[in-house]
Amino acid sequence: MTTIISTTKMKIVIIGGGFGGLKVARSLNNKAGFEIYLLDKYNYHQFQPLFYQVATAGLDPSNISFPLRKVFHKSRNVHFRMAEVKEIVVADNLPAPPREPIWAKESHVTGRQGKVVTDIGDFTYDVLVLATGADTNFFGNQNLIDNAFPMKSTVEAVRLRHRLIQNFEDALSAKNETELQRLMTVVVVGGGPTGVELSGAIADMRRFVLPKDYPELDFTKMKIYLLEGGPKILGAMSEKSSEDSLKYLQKLNVIVQINTVVKDYNGKIVTLQSGTTIESAMVIWAAGIKGNIPEGISKDLIVKGNRIKVDRFNKVSGFDNIYAVGDVAYMETEKYPNGHPQVASVAIQQGNLLAYNLRRMEMKSPHIKEFEYYDKGTMATVGRNLAVVDIPKPKLHIRGFLAWMMWMGLHLVLLLGVKNRLSVFSNWIYNYITYDQNLRLIFKEFYRPKSPFPSEGQT
């Protein structure tokens, strides 16, 4: 059957409902001249900056997840499909369209269609936007894949929470002191914002929550390690932020080790590159990310970090109708010769500019803009009343309670949905007043089972 190609509308397929993909779709929502299909394997948007609070029982998964269909309740041109992408077939591998659409004439893109193959069917496109985000990078170590806990999705954050709490249940019936210590030792690998925030949150649980839940256990014996392969934690932030966050973590009795590389983990023993070992039943992996690249993208376009090389308009090299935004995109600029940081603000700004340029293209305007990242600042929270904030213009470093309030305010603003904002805010108020996190639930049918430990004496 021949598909009739619209002569008036540009058909855009967006893969990924994260910050970048959602920004493109929302910016083109109800704009004449566009027909948009948003594809994602989940039917909800996940607010990644607060995954660590789900993992440490501070927030419910529903507080930081928002149904994608609800975002477009009043939309006339955005269609959401819950689908898992199998392959991208570029236009050069497909027959030419029967006629060129009107919007393509004298525009920046041609009228040649490509195709996205998914588990629910195929979607043709005039313009394809890759906003597939990033996943955990275990650097090919199968033992780490099998035994360490990542935290790049809501599901993974819930699994981590279940295992963290289950380990204390198991500690009540530990057979010996070695097993008890192993169950009460948490190792966080990666000293970026995720690792720092997780370490601080778990330390707060050790101070305020766990001793009341498990009075039979001596939490002075609980150890929390933060291992960072580089020379400092929060390596992308200022020296002052790195120093302040280190002081805060040490104040919370987190054992911070820099220039420390994890070589292996078998579910029981962490082996460091130096040969030192740490016995732990819980390793949280926040040490690296890699772009999620669908099948069909040439390996010649993939650079370090498994990212797709794009030009200053977020256009994938060699194509005039395929774009990439956010964590999966690698763009070199004078200010960022090694690519932009993989953070939400970059994805949002790229998505916003791409939508603007697509509107200009639809109007056949030659005036489209190059992307320039406007860094409004970076921040990380370390624990209760403790955070660090760097603002580039004017050059400011803020720490402590004020930084913590700024961190909370920004994340509330970025959350989708009034209900979610109210839920998160009320949870934060409750937790602050009561020194308690009230979501310490274990659903054994849901969490990832423990890998079988090797017998004593084996590694």
Q: Which class would CATH give 139-287+385-434?
A: alpha beta
Whether pTM > 0.85 for this model: the answer is yes
Q: Which class would CATH give 10-41+83-135+290-362?
A: alpha beta
b/e per residue, 419-433, with b = 16+ CB within 10 A? ebbebbeebbeebee
Helix (H/G/I), strand (E/B), else coil: 225 = strand
Residue ranges of alpha helices (H) inside 214-371 are: 239-251, 344-362
Q: What is the DSSP string of 329-351?
A: EE---SS-TT----SHHHHHHHH
Residue 282, H or E segment: strand 282-285
Positions in the chain whose pLDDT score sits under 70? 1-7, 91-112, 438-439, 444-459
| Predicted local distance difference test score (pLDDT) of residue 1 | 34
6 token code pair: 């619209």
Q: In 3D, which of 225, 289, 307 has the Cα closest to residue 262?
A: 225
Residue where the block lists tokens 């006629």: 99
| Predicted local distance difference test score (pLDDT) of residue 28 | 95
Residues 425, 233: Cα–Cα separation, whole Å: 28
Residue ranges of alpha helices (H) inside 120-238 are: 142-147, 154-171, 177-183, 193-208, 210-213
Q: In 3D, which of 252, 269, 281, 250 has the Cα closest to residue 186?
A: 281
Residues 458, 182: Cα–Cα separation, whole Å: 15
Q: Domain residue spans in the chain?
A: 10-41+83-135+290-362, 139-287+385-434
What does DSSP say about strands 121-125 and 114-118: parallel, antiparallel, or unpaired?
A: antiparallel
pLDDT tens readout for residues 303-331 = 988 999 999 999 998 888 999 999 999 99
Neighbouring residues of 347: CB distance < 8 A, sequence distance ≥ 6: 18, 19, 20, 23, 131, 325, 326, 327
Residues 388, 240: Cα–Cα separation, whole Å: 9
Residues 439, 165: Cα–Cα separation, whole Å: 11
Residues 405, 117: Cα–Cα separation, whole Å: 45
| Predicted local distance difference test score (pLDDT) of residue 101 | 65
400 token code pair: 């402590």
Instruction: Give the sheet arrangement for strand 255-257, strand by strand.
Output: 255-257, 223-227, 185-189, 282-285
3-state secondary structure 379-448: EEEEECCEEEEEECCCCEEEEHHHHHHHHHHHHHHHCCCHHHHHHHHHHHHHHHHHCCCCCCCCCCCCCC
| Predicted local distance difference test score (pLDDT) of residue 431 | 84
pLDDT tens readout for residues 190-227 = 999 999 999 999 999 999 999 999 999 999 999 999 99
Q: What letter represents residue 403's amino acid?
A: A
Contact (CB, 8 A) for 369 and 220 = no
* For residue 211, cis peptide bond before it (omega within 30 degrees of 0): no
| Predicted local distance difference test score (pLDDT) of residue 104 | 63
Question: Cα-Cα-Cα-Cα dihedral of 205, 381, 410, 24, to 10°?
Answer: -100
16 token code pair: 């990924």
pLDDT tens readout for residues 104-127 = 665 666 656 789 999 999 999 999
Contact (CB, 8 A) for 217 and 171 = yes
Whether 10-41+83-135+290-362 and 139-287+385-434 share one fold: the answer is: yes
| Predicted local distance difference test score (pLDDT) of residue 94 | 60
